[in-house]
Chain A
Amino acid sequence: MTSSTVSTARPAEIAWHPAVGRYAPIVVIALALIAAWYIAAVLMNINLVRNETPYTTAELIAGTLNAERPLLPAPHQIIETFADDVFDWPVTSPRSLVYHGWVTLSATFLGFLLGAAFGIILAVLIVHARTLQKSLLPWIICSQMVPILAVAPIVIVVLGSIGLRGLLPKAIISAYLCFFPVTIGVVKGLNSPDPIQRDLMRTWSATPGQIFWKLRWPSAVPFLFTSLKVSITISLIGAIVAELPTGAQAGIGARLLAGSYYGQTIQIWAALLAASLLAAGLIGLISLAERSVARLMGAH
């Protein structure tokens, strides 16, 4: 019959907005986590407020969620402190999280650039010289087995003794951590062209340089971006770790350390929130670059 009868015969479907289908699962999980967090905060902080002899259960719970030095701060406390640290202080003040965030971020950027460049150079060497693959690769893997928490103070002290302080030592530690995924990813990418694509280059008797720039490097680009996304978060971690042994002058690592010295749990959590927002932003930046490069390279 007509199409209208067909459509009425179907069971009625709720017309969801596409955004609902996309974000609903994320929102549900986030809400569940926040609920679990509040419950955990009540349970963990209850011993702190019991001595203050509150009169009702409601007051007891309110006390656990607003303690001054809670074991586990409630989400609204963290956000309050975070907002206070970010917006209520001038960005040049050592009390401002923006100031500390920038200190860490600049070390992250420099470390990431150094590490990515070093990682790419290593990968190119490894791909082009078999002897280097045999001699370098074990060292590269070993370098990642050394606990960075042990190495960081050594690097800081050694570089400090030759007059290098501040940004560069932190960037070097960050680079030390983040070059590895780049090397592994780019080696794989440079070796990814299939035999036919390489045979073509051979029949045209292309030079090694031409094979690199016109075949190997473009093939490696998708692998490179995947590695860079891993590597930039690692370089942020490296920068934070590098701030711990410097005596906590500035940076998110310094905030974490100071918070733990003085039992300021809310401050620690606010710094953690800042670090994860930075990491998310950095990955977002790389993804943005990845998408525009992919569009230029004809991805669909």
Chain B
Amino acid sequence: MASIRPFEHTTAPEAATGEAGAPAAKALTVDARGVSLTFHTGDGEVQALANVDLQISDGDFVSLIGPSGCGKTTLMRIIADLQQPTAGTILVNGVSPEQARLARHYGYIFQAPALYPWRTIERNVMLPLEIMGFDAKERRARMERYLKLVNLSGFERKFPWQLSGGMQQRASIARALSFDPALLLMDEPFGALDEIVRDHLNEQLLRLWDQTGKISRATARWRFARRRNSSRSRSACARACARAILMTSSR
């Protein structure tokens, strides 16, 4: 069972987005009210989420933190319509998660890079663009732009196995960014990497948030949601995000 409460967090640098200040002024990217999820398993019911309220506004960089098994992944999967809640309502950009998914609002980055091994890095980055029907010229332009953003220019023709784990994860970030999703969900994106690479990528991610915000200011605001796995890395999280949300387990 998990419940959620806002984590009073003020150490964020100038990025204090003033979510308490003028909530009405900003559109809500995620608006979850009373969301619960109960799994029916062989040995009884398991409550993964209980009565979760969560509001994330436009342009926020939010981290979900908490002990393992408290439902962070489940909550993100519900936001992304990879799982359906058994109770409660959730709106993403004002519509249901399914409608948001069909409108391709989500970029989802998993713990593993999950690049398709038979595709080169460039074709992996262009895969969502192919699926979404971007024309060939636009696909190539975006692929080049986002591979440059994650410092992978020059690796276009390599296959995933020829890259290190950190480079693969960066390629998967480029893939998630390539179609300008309204909401970027990252599920322990650097969890499988070692401490040094992880810190480095965290810094890159912050810069990315900064840059992409600038890139797309004219068109759409970037909305980030990400999570960190444990309370131990709360300090790292404090550096990396504008707002952290602590989820607790009452199991």
Contact = CB atoms under 8 A, between A and B. Distances in A.
B127 interface: yes
Interface in A161-204: 194, 196-197, 199-204
Interface of A: 194, 196-197, 199-206, 210, 214-215, 218, 221, 297-298, 300
B102 interface: yes
Contacts of B159: 298, 300
B118 A297 contact: yes
Mostly, the B contact residues are loop
B128 A204 contact: yes
Interface string B18-31: 00000000000000
Contacts of B110: 196, 199-200
Contact of A300 (B108, B127, B161): B161
B77 to A, nearest CB: 8
Interface residues of B, number: 27
Nearest to A215: B116
B76 to A, nearest CB: 11
Contacts, number: 52
Given A196-B112, A204-B104, A205-B102, A214 B117 contact: no
A200 B113 CA distance: 11
Contact of B131 (A196, A197, A199, A214): A214
Contacts of B220: none
Interface string B173-187: 000000100000000
B59 to A, nearest CB: 21
A199 B118 contact: no
A203 B119 contact: no
Nearest to A298: B159
A197 B116 contact: yes
A66 B131 CA distance: 70
Nearest to B127: A214
